[in-house]
């Protein structure tokens, strides 16, 4: 068997995306959902192939392509993470297709569906490149690939004014954050003369380097990445964009985009760890994010908006991990977050088509569809952090790292905000199980979604009891 | 065998959720668990003080995390309590109108979680299992509760969630206070390492405080008790039986299991604070209990108050008092379950539990009033019922702690004040009995019928266990004392714990 190298994975996904676009353009007659299934199958093949890639180690001596691209264990792991996310997002999109059609009045039945299924695949390529990037130029290019495909996806149902608002907000603020990123890169390049992260670290170790200027550049980059991961005070766009975007895209934004942001953050911060100000800065951002995300989520009545604020709150917990610089704790948390967030969004998409996105619309779901209610229950308790779910172990590893480093402020705030979390996540459970609703008709769930949701439930509980596979994969 | 007891209720719950007939499956599961617990009790080797029936599945070698279960005397007693109360609670639940299968599944999850926590030797599962009860309790109170159920459900859930995360911090800190070479999540390994003095005094103080608050919230230690009366008053009777009877005892069990052997310095350091708080439980909450005007609230407060005695036994850390604490935990679990069960049946018949509206019910419900009488006398601590044995051992043991000829140590003062608690509980319990069952029968209640025969069985089981261990507390003492003796003699010189004979109870304990 021939060996597969890491860059071939991205090329395969890229070819897949192109192929789907071409088929979409020339075969106008087919049911466009076939494209989604082809995409899912293709990505699944790449996912399988990715397990045969041997991770390499990045060295500062690497030249050419390998000076900006690394295939270390962390990057392979997050490539698989991106693939899994995209597969689930495509499944969610097939469920969402009817909504999409109804938002194009007058157009043909299948208008726009082809691009809707093809764009996530290009986003996936961007995410896969991003997690491998170890050079600022390459980070910038792959980040733009992700962001630009999101511009289109977020405003896809553009006849809807709320979506249009979301699209504009996302476009303007992302462009702004990109400007910060480029400016930051310029400062760091100006100080060190390098764009490769390893060489920047070497340059910063040299006492002759102007550290204050480098730190300023780092802060600018932190602002840009703060937008991506939705850290306070760069979270303003999150609630409106999450609420306005098509729901599968919201799920993709909150999982894929955030995970890639954290991987880049870890890589970018590594050279700056020698500077003591870095950690203090991250601690402050983490505290603000935890407090803001959790408090703002408390009064929400719209589930999609609630999940937006909860994604800010989870960024706060992840930032605790960043402040302690524990890559495996962050990695595990992201995996848990992927499972429980996609689970919640999957149920939300199905229920929202029947009733709506408000928490009240979930009233009596336990009677109408015990399966969906149970899935949502698992998603919510995992987000809240109840043991025997992946979400609990994620918090456990994060708190473990924080206590080990005596980050008392982070730990105390973390525990209080976990209490808030229990309140707003249980509000959803309360609606589903306590309240009764006037409607008693069953909610249909198609086979593929049932399979996907079952897989997510099982994975959430499985990793909550047996986390070792992920911990092994994350070992450097 | 231990795994079988843990997974009996949990498997039954999963089967019920998958569509099995709810009540039958639940009853079968709890009867099987009870039978298995009896088998363990019979086959238990009382001479050995180590864990028995140990099974272990490795989960994460680098974290020393494994799913390890086993029982020693202490956990055996708690598992026996859990299975008895589960059986009684499930039997009592009867037919549920709304979401019957969810109701039984929730009850079984609470029970399985408690049993799992008692049987876990691994710290992670010890913690995780007890949290299994959190969401079912929220649903039980929220869906099937009465009175101010919404506020009560939120209060108990948020309180216990924060408490359990404080506990989690304590456990993580405990794990990290050991040197890296002996770090383990296995309680046996930690106990062995702590006996070698590998955990520093400072760390012990910090960890103990976190554990005290974390467990204290679950046990409803004053001033963290405010969730308890409200929740128990609103909860459906079987949920209150399981929560007050079994789950609350997990906190005390945790303190005995972890604080006693691992953190002796911590418990010495915080003993003064704990004594003040537990007197808050006994005196302050006791007086509040007297002021209650409803039976369910009165029972809720009384269950908070009785935790004070058990804390006194744990805090004074002599073998006699800690053994007494375990006996009282067992006895209180049975008696409060009995009282909540009867209060629940009363509520079904009268739709009110306000004292002023009740009265004279003994005429129409002779069996219930007799059974309630047993519960009342047990709660007061009358000889012949198991509570008496526990309380008197606690009082003797606590009075002995720190005893010097010429002055009163804090534990003597606490014991004297705690004895007044017995008077307080006599006042409120007898008053409740008189207002509910004695006096003139109102016309409204003329049509009320007594308990059905099938409901009398679980009541008889609970009273039988109370009487049995009231007359023969030795069997409990002999099961528990060896474990506690190893915990307490590993730090203290033997002379301090060897008591001079002189009264019967001590001779019972040392036989």
Q: Kindly state whether A471 is in contact with chain B, defined as any CB-CB distance less than 8 angstroms.
A: yes
Question: What's chain B's Rg over C-alpha atoms?
Answer: 22
Alpha-carbon distance of A252 to A232, in angstroms, equals 20
Are A404 and B60 a contacting pair at CB < 8 A? Answer: no
pLDDT, averaged across chain B: 87
| pLDDT tens readout for residues B29-84 | 999 999 999 999 888 888 777 888 888 888 888 888 889 999 988 999 999 999 99
Q: Is residue A396 part of a domain?
A: yes
Please report, to the nearest 10 degrees, the dihedral formed by the alpha carbons of residues A227, A233, A236, A242 taken in order.
Answer: 50
Residue A132 has pLDDT above 60, yes or no: yes
* pLDDT (mean) for B1-26: 89
Q: Which of B285, B303, B440, B284 is nearest to B375 (CA)?
A: B303
Q: Is the pLDDT of residue A59 over 60?
A: no
Cβ distance B161 to A416 less than 8 Å, yes or no, reads no
Nearest to B60 among A374, A419, A471 (CB): A471
Mean pLDDT of the region A326-336? 92
Is residue A103 one of the residues assigned to a domain?
Answer: no
pLDDT value, residue A436: 81
Cβ B169–A423 below 8 Å, yes or no?
Answer: no
Predicted pLDDT of residue B305: 93
What is the pLDDT, as a whole number, of residue B116? 93
What tens digit of pLDDT does each residue of B303-317 get? 999 999 999 999 888
Point out the residue among B102, B158, B169 whose CB comes nearest to the CB of A415. Answer: B169
Whether residue A394 is contained in a domain is answered as yes
- When mean pLDDT is compared over A64-68, A155-159, A193-197, B438-442, the highest value belongs to A193-197
**Rounded CA separation A193/A202 (Å):** 11
List CB contacts (< 8 A) between A382 and chain B. none
Please name the member of B157, B166, B173 whose beta carbon is closest to the beta carbon of A415. Answer: B166
Contact at CB, B99 and A465, closer than 8 angstroms: no
Burial class (CB in 10 A: 0-12, 13-18, 19+), B198: middle
Residue A93, in any domain of the structure: no
pLDDT of residue A214: 87
Task: Label each residue of A25-48 as H, E or C.
Answer: HHCCCCCCHHHHHHHHHHHHHHHH
pLDDT of B147 over the 50 cut: yes
Q: Rounded distance, CA A304 to CA A358, Å?
A: 8
Strand partners for A358: A302
Question: What pLDDT shows up at residue B49?
Answer: 77
Size of interface A-B (CB pairs under 8 A): 76
| In-domain check, residue A407 | yes
pLDDT at residue A101 in the model: 74
**Does position B244 have pLDDT exceeding 70, yes or no?**
yes
Residue of A nearest to B210 (CA): A412
Determine the pLDDT at residue B509. Answer: 44
Q: What is the pLDDT, as a whole number, of residue A105?
A: 61
| Residue owning tokens 């249009």 | A164
Do residues B326 and B247 make contact, with C-beta atoms less than 8 angstroms apart? no
User: From the DSSP assignment, how many helices (H) and strands (E) are in chain A?
Assistant: 20, 0
B257: pLDDT strictly greater than 80: yes
Q: What SS3 class is residue B122? A: strand
Distance from C-alpha of B140 to C-alpha of B235, rounded to nearest angstrom: 7
Is residue A341 a contact partner of residue A376, using CB atoms and an 8 Å limit? no
Examine residue A210 and state whether it is found in any structural domain, yes or no.
Answer: no
DSSP of A253-269: IIIIIHHHHHHHHHHHH
Q: What is the pLDDT of residue B180?
A: 83
Is the pLDDT reported for residue A463 higher than 80?
Answer: yes
Amino acid A109: pLDDT: 56
Kindly state the average pLDDT of the residues B121-143.
91
- Contact call for A387 and B131, based on CB within 8 A: yes
Chain B CB within 8 Å of residue A400 CB: yes
Interface probe for A, chosen from B161, B173, B175, B180 (most Cβ of A below 10 Å), is B161
B223 preceded by cis ω (within 30°)?
yes
The proportion of chain A whose per-residue pLDDT surpasses 90, expressed as a percent, equals 56
B58 close to B66: Cβ distance less than 8 angstroms: yes
pLDDT digits (tens, 9 = 90+) for A137-196: 999 999 999 999 999 999 888 788 888 899 999 999 999 999 999 999 999 999 988 888
In chain B, residues with a C-beta closer than 8 Å to the C-beta of A394 are: none
Q: pLDDT per residue over A208-218, tens digit each?
A: 888 888 889 99
CB contact under 8 A, A422 and B128: no
Q: What is the DSSP letter of B404?
A: B
Domain range for residue A329? 299-476
- Predicted confidence band of residue B501 (pLDDT cuts 50, 70, 90): very low
Q: Which residues of chain A are within 8 Å of residue B127 when distances are taken between CB atoms? A: 387
- Considering its fold, how many domains does chain A have in total? 1
Nearest to B332 by CA among B244, B416, B460: B244
Most B CBs within 10 Å, among A332, A434, A467, to test the B interface: A434
Q: How confident is the model at residue A61 (pLDDT cuts 50, 70, 90)?
A: low
The yes-or-no verdict on residue A1 having pLDDT over 60 is no
**What's the rounded mean pLDDT across residues A384-412?**
92
Q: Verify whether the Cβ–Cβ distance A419 to B99 is below 8 Å.
A: no
On the question of pLDDT at B403 being above 80, the answer is no
* Segment B196-210 mean pLDDT: 88
pLDDT digits (tens, 9 = 90+) for B215-231: 999 999 988 999 999 99
**Does pTM top 0.95 for this prediction?**
no
Q: Is B401 helix (H, G, I), strand (E, B) or coil?
A: coil
- Is residue A438 predicted with pLDDT exceeding 80? no
pLDDT of residue A107 exceeding 70: no
Q: Is the pLDDT of residue B134 over 50?
A: yes
Task: Report pLDDT for B19.
Answer: 84
B315-to-B251, B268, B449, B510 alpha-carbon distances in Å: 13, 8, 45, 20
- Is A433–B17 a contact, with Cβ atoms under 8 angstroms apart? no
A384–B129 CB contact, under 8 Å:
no
Say whether B161 and A415 touch across the interface (CB within 8 A): no
Q: What does the block give as tokens for B232?
A: 């128990």
pLDDT band at A85 (very low <50, low <70, confident <90, very high): very high
Determine the residue among B68, B169, B179 to mutate to test chain A binding: the one whose Cβ has the most chain A Cβ atoms within 10 Å.
B169
Q: How far apart are CA A351 and CA B253, in angstroms?
A: 44
* Collapsed DSSP state (helix, strand, coil) of residue A198: helix
Q: How confident is the model at residue B199 (pLDDT cuts 50, 70, 90)?
A: confident
pLDDT at A210: 83
The confidence score (pLDDT) of residue B508 equals 44
Whether residues A366 and B102 touch (CB distance < 8 A) is answered with yes
Contact A387 B166 (CB under 8 A): no
Residues A419, B135: C-beta atoms closer than 8 Å? no
Is the CB of A418 less than 8 angstroms away from the CB of B59?
Answer: no
* pLDDT over 60 at B353, yes or no: yes
Decide which of A46 and B198 is more confident.
A46
- Does residue A118 belong to any structural domain of this protein? no
Q: Is residue B104 within 8 Å of B22, Cβ to Cβ?
A: yes
Instruction: Return d(Cα B263, Cα B268) in angstroms, integer.
Output: 9
Confidence at B350, pLDDT banded by 50, 70, 90 = confident
Amino acid B498: pLDDT: 40
Tell me how far CA of residue B151 lies from CA of B99, B234, B239, in angstroms. Answer: 21, 9, 16
Residue B503: which pLDDT band, with cuts at 50, 70 and 90? very low
Sorting pLDDT into bands at 50, 70 and 90, what band is B510?
very low
Q: Do B99 and A433 touch (CB under 8 A)?
A: yes
The residue length of chain A stands at 476
Residue of A nearest to B126 (CA): A387
Residues of A in contact with B165 (CB under 8 A): 385, 415, 418-419
The β-bridge partners of A196 are A135
Residues of A in contact with B131 (CB under 8 A): 386-388, 392
**Of B128, B119, B23, B19, nearest to B69 (Cα)?**
B119
> What's the confidence (pLDDT) of residue A348?
93
Which residue in A366, A386, A387, A410 has the most chain B C-beta atoms within 10 A of its own C-beta, making it the best mutation to test that interface? Answer: A387
Whether residues B102 and A466 touch (CB distance < 8 A) is answered with no
By the CB < 8 Å criterion, does A288 face chain B? no
Chain mean pLDDT for chain A = 89
Strands (E), B397-507: none
> Cβ–Cβ of A467/B60 closer than 8 Å?
yes
Cis-peptide, bond into residue A233, ω within 30° of zero: yes
Q: Is A196 helix (H, G, I), strand (E, B) or coil?
A: strand
pLDDT of residue B333: 93
Q: Which residues of B touch A376 (CB under 8 A)?
A: none
Name the residue among B134, B142, B161 with its Cβ closest to that of A430: B142
Q: Which residues of B touch A386 (CB under 8 A)?
A: 131, 134-135
Mean pLDDT over A16-39 rounds to 86
Chain B contact set for A373 (CB, 8 A): none
- The H or E element that residue A159 is part of is none
Rg of chain A taking only CA atoms, in angstroms: 22
Whole-angstrom distance, CA of residue A365 vs CA of residue A429: 9
pLDDT digits (tens, 9 = 90+) for B83-92: 999 999 998 8
* Chain B CB within 8 Å of residue A381 CB: yes
Instruction: Please tell me if residue B189 touches chain A, with a CB cutoff of 8 Å.
Output: no
SS (H, E, C) B10-75: HHHHHHHHHCCCHHHHHHHHHHHHHHHHHHHHHHCCCCCCCCEEEEEEEEECCCCEEEEEEECHHH
Return the pLDDT at A60.
53
pLDDT at B123 over 70: yes
* pLDDT at residue number A194: 86
Alpha-carbon distance A255 to A249, whole Å? 10
- Over residues B148-196, the pLDDT tens digits come to 888 999 999 999 999 999 999 999 999 988 888 888 888 888 888 888 8
Helices (H), B220-293: 227-234, 237-242, 248-254, 260-262, 264-269, 271-279, 285-290
**pLDDT > 70: what percent of chain A?**
96
Say if A386 is an interface residue toward chain B (CB within 8 Å): yes
CB atoms within 10 A of CB A455: 15
Residues forming beta bridges with residue B60, ordered by sequence position: B65
Evaluate whether residue A436 is within a structural domain.
Answer: yes
Closest chain A residue to B131, measured at CA: A387
Q: Helix or strand or coil: residue A324?
A: coil
**Rounded alpha-carbon distances, angstroms, from residue A61 to A6, A69, A266:** 19, 13, 21
What pLDDT does residue A5 have? Answer: 82
Nearest 5°: the CA angle A460, A461, A464 is 90
Q: Which two tokens stand for residue B453?
A: 């025969």
Query: How do residues A351-375 score in pLDDT, each as one tens digit?
Result: 998 888 888 888 888 888 889 999 9
Structure tokens, B239: 């949920």
Confidence of residue A453 (pLDDT cuts 50, 70, 90): very high
């Amino acid at each position: 068997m021939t060996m597969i190298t890491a860059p071939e994975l991205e090329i395969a996904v890229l070819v897949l995306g192109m192929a789907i676009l071409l088929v979409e353009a020339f075969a106008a007659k087919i049911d466009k959902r076939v494209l989604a299934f082809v995409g899912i199958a293709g990505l699944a093949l790449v996912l399988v192939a990715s397990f045969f890639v041997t991770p390499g180690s990045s060295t500062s001596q690497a030249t050419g392509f390998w000076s900006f691209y690394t295939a270390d264990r962390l990057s392979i792991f997050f490539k698989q993470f991106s693939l899994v996310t995209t597969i689930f997002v495509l499944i969610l999109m097939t469920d969402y297709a009817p909504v999409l059609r109804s938002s194009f009045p007058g157009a043909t039945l299948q208008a726009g569906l082809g691009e809707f299924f093809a764009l996530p695949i290009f986003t996936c390529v961007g995410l896969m490149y991003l997690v491998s990037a170890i050079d600022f130029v390459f980070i910038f290019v792959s980040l733009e690939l992700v962001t630009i495909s999101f511009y289109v996806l977020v405003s896809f149902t553009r006849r809807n004014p709320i979506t249009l608002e979301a699209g504009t907000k996302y476009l303007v603020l992302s462009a702004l954050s990109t400007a910060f990123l480029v400016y930051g890169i310029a400062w760091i390049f100006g100080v060190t003369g390098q764009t490769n992260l390893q060489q920047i670290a070497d340059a910063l170790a040299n006492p002759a380097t102007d550290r204050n200027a480098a730190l300023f550049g780092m802060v600018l980059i932190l602002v840009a990445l703060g937008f991506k991961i939705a850290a306070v005070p760069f979270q303003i766009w999150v609630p409106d964009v999450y609420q306005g975007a098509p729901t599968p895209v919201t799920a993709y934004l909150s999982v894929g985009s955030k995970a890639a942001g954290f991987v880049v953050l870890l890589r970018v911060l590594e050279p700056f760890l020698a500077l003591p100000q870095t950690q203090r800065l991250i601690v402050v951002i983490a505290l603000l994010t935890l407090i803001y995300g959790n408090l703002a989520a408390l009064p929400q009545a719209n589930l999609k908006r609630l999940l937006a604020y909860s994604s800010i709150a989870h960024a706060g917990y992840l930032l605790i991990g960043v402040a302690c610089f524990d890559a495996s704790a962050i990695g595990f948390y992201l995996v848990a977050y992927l499972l429980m967030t996609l689970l919640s969004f999957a149920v939300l998409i199905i229920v929202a088509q029947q009733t709506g996105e408000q928490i009240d619309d979930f009233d009596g779901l336990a009677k109408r569809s015990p399966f969906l209610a149970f899935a949502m229950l698992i998603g919510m308790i995992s987000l809240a952090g109840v043991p025997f779910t992946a979400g609990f172990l994620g918090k456990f590893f994060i708190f473990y790292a924080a206590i080990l480093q005596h980050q008392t402020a982070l730990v105390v705030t973390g525990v209080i905000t976990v209490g808030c979390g229990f309140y707003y996540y249980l509000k959803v459970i309360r609606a589903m199980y306590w309240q009764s609703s006037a409607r008693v008709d069953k909610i249909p769930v198609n086979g593929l979604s049932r399979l996907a949701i079952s897989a997510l439930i099982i994975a959430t509980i499985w990793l909550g009891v047996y986390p070792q596979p992920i911990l092994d994969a994350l070992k450097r | 065998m231990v795994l079988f007891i843990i997974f009996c209720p949990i498997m039954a719950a999963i089967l019920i959720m998958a569509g099995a007939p709810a009540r039958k499956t639940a009853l079968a599961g709890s009867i099987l668990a009870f039978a298995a617990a009896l088998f363990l009790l019979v086959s238990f080797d009382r001479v050995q003080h180590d864990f028995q029936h140990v099974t272990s599945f490795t989960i994460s070698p680098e974290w020393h995390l494994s799913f390890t279960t086993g029982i020693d005397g202490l956990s055996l007693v708690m598992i026996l309590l859990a299975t008895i109360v589960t059986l009684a609670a499930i039997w009592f639940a009867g037919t549920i109108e709304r979401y019957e299968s969810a109701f039984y599944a929730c009850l079984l999850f609470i029970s399985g979680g408690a049993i799992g926590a008692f049987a876990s030797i691994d710290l992670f599962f010890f913690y995780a299992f007890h949290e299994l009860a959190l969401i079912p309790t929220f649903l039980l109170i929220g869906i099937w509760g009465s009175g101010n159920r919404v506020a009560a459900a939120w209060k108990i859930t948020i309180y216990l969630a924060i408490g359990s995360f404080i506990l989690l911090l304590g456990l993580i800190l405990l794990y990290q206070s050991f040197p890296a070479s002996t770090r383990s999540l296995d309680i046996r390994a930690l106990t062995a390492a702590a006996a070698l003095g590998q955990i520093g005094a400072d760390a012990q103080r910090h960890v103990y405080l976190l554990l005290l608050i974390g467990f204290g919230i679950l046990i409803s230690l004053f001033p963290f008790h405010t969730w308890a009366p409200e929740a128990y008053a609103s909860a459906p009777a079987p949920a209150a039986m399981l929560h007050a009877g079994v789950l609350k005892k997990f906190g005390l069990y945790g303190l005995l299991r972890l604080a006693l052997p691992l953190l002796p310095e911590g418990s010495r350091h915080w003993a003064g604070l704990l004594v003040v708080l537990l007197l808050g439980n006994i005196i302050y909450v006791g007086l509040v209990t007297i002021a209650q005007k409803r039976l369910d609230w009165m029972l809720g407060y009384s269950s908070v108050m009785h935790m004070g005695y058990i804390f006194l036994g744990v805090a004074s850390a002599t073998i006699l008092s800690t053994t007494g604490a375990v006996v009282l935990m067992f006895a209180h679990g049975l008696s409060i379950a009995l009282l909540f069960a009867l209060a629940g049946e009363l509520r079904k018949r009268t739709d009110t539990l306000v004292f002023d509206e009740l009265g004279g019910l003994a005429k129409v419900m002779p069996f219930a009033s007799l059974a309630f009488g047993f519960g009342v006398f047990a709660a007061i601590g009358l000889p012949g019922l198991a509570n008496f044995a526990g309380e008197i051992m606690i009082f003797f043991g606590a009075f002995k702690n720190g005893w010097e000829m010429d002055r009163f140590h804090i534990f003597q003062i606490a014991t004297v004040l705690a004895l007044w608690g017995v008077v307080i509980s006599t006042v409120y319990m007898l008053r409740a009995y008189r207002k509910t069952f004695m006096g003139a029968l109102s016309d409204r209640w003329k049509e009320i019928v007594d308990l059905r025969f099938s409901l009398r069985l679980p009541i008889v089981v609970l009273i039988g266990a109370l009487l049995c261990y009231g007359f023969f507390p030795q069997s409990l003492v002999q099961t528990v004392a060896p474990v506690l003796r190893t915990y307490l003699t590993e730090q203290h010189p033997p002379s301090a714990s060897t008591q001079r004979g002189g009264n019967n109870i001590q001779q019972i304990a040392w036989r």
